[in-house]
A and B are shown apart, each in its own frame.
Chain A
Amino acid sequence: MRIKKLALTALTLFFSFSLYAAETIKIGASMPLTGMFAVPGSKHLEGYQMCVDIINQNGGWLGKDVILLAIDNRSDTETSISQYERFINVDKVDLVFGTFSSKLTFPTSTILAKYNYVLPIPSGGALRIYRRGFKNLFYFQSNPAEYYGKQLLAVVRDRASASDQPKTVALVHADDFFANSIANGLLGKKVKLPGSGKLVEDMAPGYIVEAGMKLVYHEQWPEEGFSDWLTLANSIKNSGAEMVIGMMASPEEAVQLSRALKTVRHNPKHLMLTQGTQSEFLEGLGDATEGIMIYAAWHDDAPYEGTLAGQRMNNSDFVAKYKAMNGKLPDEDVAITFALCQGIDQAVNATRSVDNARIMSWLHTRTSRNPVKTILGDYYWDSTGLPINKQALIVQWQGSKLKFIYPTNEFQASSMISPKPAW
């Protein structure tokens, strides 16, 4: 009798859950919550979750609650691939959200293209991701990583005084999919597809040569387990480079490189990094952040306008809401995924559907006049999935705050500290 009751209860629960699941819209996201990308990965998830919570508070999508199924992929590509396979074949998710990093996005995008799922990408800027003929990709940041170098050098050319123009540059980076892509652009290398070797783009002569600078030091460190930052910083110092460009995929590496440069007392005129907008960077370096420039996708002062769940959600609204909830400013890693979720929310509401083909078609037909409007600005894409006319932002740490300094035509830019103050 007792067993019968238990079985009946279990069946009731099962069918109740099944009914509930049928009344919900599921989104799958394989996120690096542990491992080398744990810090940005966790913040990316925070942005997704915040956005989904707001959608649900406003009635969900198509009258249904939205469930975000987020699983830790341990920063591992194989795990991430199998998780997206599982989302589609077992969990039967309606939509997916992209993961963090080019390294994880490159292989997972192949799987999602196979199943014709829309893949909105929050962080995955390597050009190679977009030049394989896939039509399901939509990148929610700015230029591909290979083009970053142009802007990294332009900010100094355009905003630093003549006496602060560097003649020599040291380039150091992680041996990582994303960081190597930026280096390819700066060094003028050929970008090829892994495996086939098919040429994607020839970046020659490279942005460093185009800028008339001399490369005096170029090194990369291994993707994982590197700890000998002082030796690396000492080598940079010995090169006498007037500008140091550090390209990394994790903020932890940005802290370590900066601390090591400070310890060996190498004082370049400019220090430019591709990570370091996070609060952890400030915590790790304190006042030593002064004058360090970072390549970014978002800034809290940006006057970008957007919507979410049919209501206004401008960048200022997002910042205010996040501050009210957490008592601090959001990091760009939270803002990026929030913006991506805004974009998909607009697609779902416009098509009144979670059908991937319809959403893909709607996103492809966005234009400068009718873009997706997010806290990262307006988005519309070329056929490869790269955003058109979307500039990245250069920010600089000034007085323990991140100030937007470039490009000056984007919105009100702060003055630039040049040269970087001595450590």
Chain B
Amino acid sequence: MIEFLQVLILGICLGFVYALMVSGLTLIFGVMRIVNLAHPILIICGAFVSYWLFILIGLDPILSIPIAGLVVAALGVVIYKLIFERNAAQQTYSEMTVLLTFGTAMVIDGILSFVFHNTQRTTSPSYATDAIFIGDIFIPLAQLYSGLVSSVIIVGLAVFLKYSDFGIAIRATSQNRTSAELVGVNVKFVCLISFGIGCALAGAAGALVSFIFSFFPSRHWEWIAIMMSLVVLGGMGSLKGAVIGAIVLSVVSSMVGAFISPAWSTMVFFLSLFLILIIRPKGLFGIQSD
């Protein structure tokens, strides 16, 4: 029972981090129908910002979240303006974005590899390898803090989307782009800002990832499939779905790792991807395309 509880705690903590990693991905898809395969490399960019702030001025990775978010958001806006905006009117836009974002990921990967080399890096704040022990149960501080911060950011995003005027405009655009335009929403601007917000979330996730996992530029290839399985389970474009999908799969993966074998734990993500695509392609909370 204790081991079950322990694994459950570890799975939930990691699940919230996964949730933050995919929240930007699902937001961008929901609003713009961009399957952003460059999202993981943007997370790596955020991790690099956080890493250098930690190394150069000793800034705690959690405190560096706003800076990492802003830097990656700015990068995202530039990418959107240069690559996506001009193609938005194309009929095959959504399909095209898969290739465009794949290419973008390769270019950013190449630049990062050239500048920083494919050396693995980790920020090591004091809590990165510390834990709270309650009897036989331990709660790793890095996972706990990052889980808490992730949940605060996600709740903040949900509140923003639900109650702010701009959030309502984003939701309207994501539900029906044409109707939103008809009622006066500046869809072009909403898309630009939404892409920026999605990238800011990637930057924030990167700051947290920097002390949970080792990272190096080409690490993002490993994350693409896992992140896609999380958002597909929850439903592409659904923030709630992405969060639930991330936590469920993280817990199940941890359980499989602990009680069957770690060799099978990664399989959980891919198996769920197959099953969901066969049984319910739009995912648990997926939205219908307009």
Interface residues in chain A, defined as those with a beta carbon under 8 Å from any beta carbon in chain B: 33-36, 38-39, 41-42, 74, 175, 219-222, 224-228, 230-232, 234-235, 238, 251-252, 255-256, 259, 262-265, 280, 283-286, 288, 423
- Please, which residues of chain A bring their CB within 8 A of the CB of B253? 228
B261 touches A264 (CB 8 A): no
**Among B11, B214, B223, contact of A256 (Cβ-Cβ < 8 Å):** B214
When chains A and B are docked, how far (Å) is the Cα of A264 from the Cα of B143?
Answer: 12
Please list 29 pairs of residues, one from A and one from B, whose beta carbons are closer than 8 Å in the complex, sorted by A's number. Answer: A33-B118, A34-B113, A34-B217, A39-B216, A42-B117, A219-B261, A221-B262, A221-B265, A222-B262, A224-B222, A225-B223, A225-B225, A226-B262, A227-B14, A228-B257, A228-B262, A228-B265, A231-B10, A231-B262, A234-B10, A251-B120, A259-B122, A259-B128, A259-B129, A263-B140, A264-B138, A265-B133, A285-B124, A288-B129
**Among A39, A231, A256, A288, contact of B257 (Cβ-Cβ < 8 Å):** A231
**Among A34, A228, A235, A262, contact of B14 (Cβ-Cβ < 8 Å):** A228
Q: Which of B260-277 contact A (CB under 8 A)?
A: 261-267, 269
Chain B min CB distance to A140 (Å): 22
A175 touches B226 (CB 8 A): no
B14 touches A225 (CB 8 A): no
When chains A and B are docked, how far (Å) is the Cα of A234 from the Cα of B120?
Answer: 24
A228 touches B118 (CB 8 A): no
Chain A min CB distance to B44 (Å): 12
B216 touches A252 (CB 8 A): yes
B113 touches A33 (CB 8 A): yes
Cβ-closest chain B residue relative to A251: B120
Chain A min CB distance to B61 (Å): 14
B131 touches A39 (CB 8 A): no
A42 touches B118 (CB 8 A): yes
Cβ-closest chain B residue relative to A34: B218
Whether, in the assembled complex, B239 has its beta carbon less than 8 Å from a beta carbon of chain A, the answer is no
B213 touches A256 (CB 8 A): yes
A225 touches B222 (CB 8 A): yes
A226 touches B265 (CB 8 A): yes
Chain A min CB distance to B260 (Å): 10
Chain A min CB distance to B4 (Å): 12
Q: Which of A41, A234, A265: most chain B CB closer than 10 A?
A: A234
Cβ-closest chain A residue relative to B3: A238
When chains A and B are docked, how far (Å) is the Cα of A221 from the Cα of B222?
Answer: 15
When chains A and B are docked, how far (Å) is the Cα of A61 from the Cα of B64?
Answer: 52
**Among B130, B221, B266, contact of A34 (Cβ-Cβ < 8 Å):** B221
Cβ-closest chain A residue relative to B214: A252
Chain B 103-124: CB-based contact to A (< 8 A → 1; otherwise 0): 0000001000100011111101
- Please, which residues of chain B bring their CB within 8 A of the CB of A263? 129-131, 138, 140, 142
Interface secondary structure of A, over-half rule? helix
When chains A and B are docked, how far (Å) is the Cα of A33 from the Cα of B109?
Answer: 11
Cβ-Cβ contact count across A and B, 8 Å cutoff: 126
Cβ-closest chain B residue relative to A261: B129
Chain B 54-67: CB-based contact to A (< 8 A → 1; otherwise 0): 00000000000000
B222 touches A36 (CB 8 A): yes
A175 touches B121 (CB 8 A): no
Cβ-closest chain B residue relative to A258: B129
What 5 A-B pairs come out closest when comparing CB atoms? Answer: A34-B218, A38-B118, A221-B262, A284-B122, A262-B129
Whether, in the assembled complex, B6 has its beta carbon less than 8 Å from a beta carbon of chain A, the answer is yes
Chain A min CB distance to B261 (Å): 6
- Please, which residues of chain A bring their CB within 8 A of the CB of B258? 231, 234-235
Using C-beta atoms within 8 Å of the partner chain, give the interface range for chain B. Answer: 35 or more
- Please, which residues of chain A bring their CB within 8 A of the CB of B269? 225
- Please, which residues of chain A bring their CB within 8 A of the CB of B118? 33-34, 38-39, 41-42
Q: List 5 additional A-B contacts (Cβ < 8 Å) besides A234-B7, A234-B138.
A: A39-B216, A219-B263, A224-B222, A252-B214, A263-B138
Chain B min CB distance to A218 (Å): 10
Whether, in the assembled complex, B50 has its beta carbon less than 8 Å from a beta carbon of chain A, the answer is no
B262 touches A284 (CB 8 A): no
- Please, which residues of chain A bring their CB within 8 A of the CB of B109? 34
- Please, which residues of chain A bring their CB within 8 A of the CB of B97? none
**Among B113, B213, B265, contact of A222 (Cβ-Cβ < 8 Å):** B265
A220 touches B262 (CB 8 A): yes
* Known A280-B121, A286-B124: A35·B218 in contact at CB below 8 Å: yes
Q: Which of A220, A238, A283: most chain B CB closer than 10 A?
A: A283
B10 touches A230 (CB 8 A): yes
Whether, in the assembled complex, B174 has its beta carbon less than 8 Å from a beta carbon of chain A, the answer is no
Chain A min CB distance to B236 (Å): 21
When chains A and B are docked, how far (Å) is the Cα of A166 from the Cα of B226?
Answer: 39
A219 touches B262 (CB 8 A): yes
- Please, which residues of chain A bring their CB within 8 A of the CB of B113? 33-34, 38
B122 touches A255 (CB 8 A): yes
- Please, which residues of chain B bring their CB within 8 A of the CB of A251? 120
Whether, in the assembled complex, B238 has its beta carbon less than 8 Å from a beta carbon of chain A, the answer is no
* Known A234-B258, A263-B131: A38·B216 in contact at CB below 8 Å: yes
- Please, which residues of chain B bring their CB within 8 A of the CB of A175? 263
Whether, in the assembled complex, B150 has its beta carbon less than 8 Å from a beta carbon of chain A, the answer is no
B225 touches A283 (CB 8 A): no
B143 touches A230 (CB 8 A): yes
- Please, which residues of chain A bring their CB within 8 A of the CB of B261? 219-220
A232 touches B3 (CB 8 A): no
Whether, in the assembled complex, B26 has its beta carbon less than 8 Å from a beta carbon of chain A, the answer is no
A280 touches B10 (CB 8 A): no
Whether, in the assembled complex, B173 has its beta carbon less than 8 Å from a beta carbon of chain A, the answer is no
- Please, which residues of chain A bring their CB within 8 A of the CB of B14? 227-228, 230
Chain B 1-32: CB-based contact to A (< 8 A → 1; otherwise 0): 00100110011001000000000000000000
* Known A219-B261, A263-B129: A255·B117 in contact at CB below 8 Å: no
B262 touches A265 (CB 8 A): no
Whether, in the assembled complex, B36 has its beta carbon less than 8 Å from a beta carbon of chain A, the answer is no
Whether, in the assembled complex, B254 has its beta carbon less than 8 Å from a beta carbon of chain A, the answer is yes
- Please, which residues of chain B bring their CB within 8 A of the CB of A231? 7, 10-11, 254, 257-258, 262, 265
When chains A and B are docked, how far (Å) is the Cα of A217 from the Cα of B223?
Answer: 29
